[in-house]
Amino acid sequence: MKHLSRRTLLAGAGLGATASVVGYGHHELTKDPPNRARVDHVYVTVVHEQSHTVDLLIMKDETPVYMRSKTFDGAEDESDPYNTGGGNFEDLPEEPAEYIIWLQLDGRRWDTFDFSEWDTLPAGWEKGNFPDAVVVGYTIGNEDREEGPPNVSLTVRAADPEQTGDK
């Protein structure tokens, strides 16, 4: 059996360690950046006269970081498009993270927006160009629908830096 010299053994070990560090660094540099953002605010707009209860759940790393249920008043006069009901959720998490946001209307199905899913990004948001802060809007009601459950839409947009204090 041939014995390796100490010099050969150390050179081989050094080469292996260097290759693993370079490989690790290359992997980290080519990985897509995470979609981290702050949830600037979550608002609910009710365009008809009925009040609604909305549940909001914000998850980070499969752990709930925010859970609230809130009842929002409907519009005082649904014939006036500028007179809507609704409001905001307060005390949202302020730390930027890769969140999953869940909203539920009156105990029905959950609507979701997952920061980590690129295919759910709104038009104009490109891979690697996730905003620093987002605004989530939940609009309930539709004047075209007279019976059945109200129409619901979930919208997500970049927060306006002038309103958030970000520059």
Give per-residue pLDDT as tens, 136-155.
888 887 655 556 566 777 77
Distance of CA 45 to CAs 4, 119, 137, 154, 167, Å? 75, 25, 8, 11, 28
Rounded to an integer, the average pLDDT of 88-110 is 91
Q: Which amino acid appears at position 47 of this protein? A: V
- Predicted confidence band at 72 (pLDDT cuts at 50, 70, 90)? very high
Closest alpha carbon to 50 in 101, 105, 132: 105
Supply 67's token pair.
Answer: 């859970």
Rounded to an integer, the average pLDDT of 101-113 is 90
Name the pairing type of β-strands 99-105 and 85-89. Answer: unpaired
For the chain, which residues make up each domain, given as ranges? 1-31, 38-164
* Lowest mean pLDDT across 31-45, 79-93, 118-132: 118-132
Q: Which pLDDT score is estimated for 27?
A: 37
Query: Distance between CA 56 and CA 93 in Å, rounded?
Result: 12
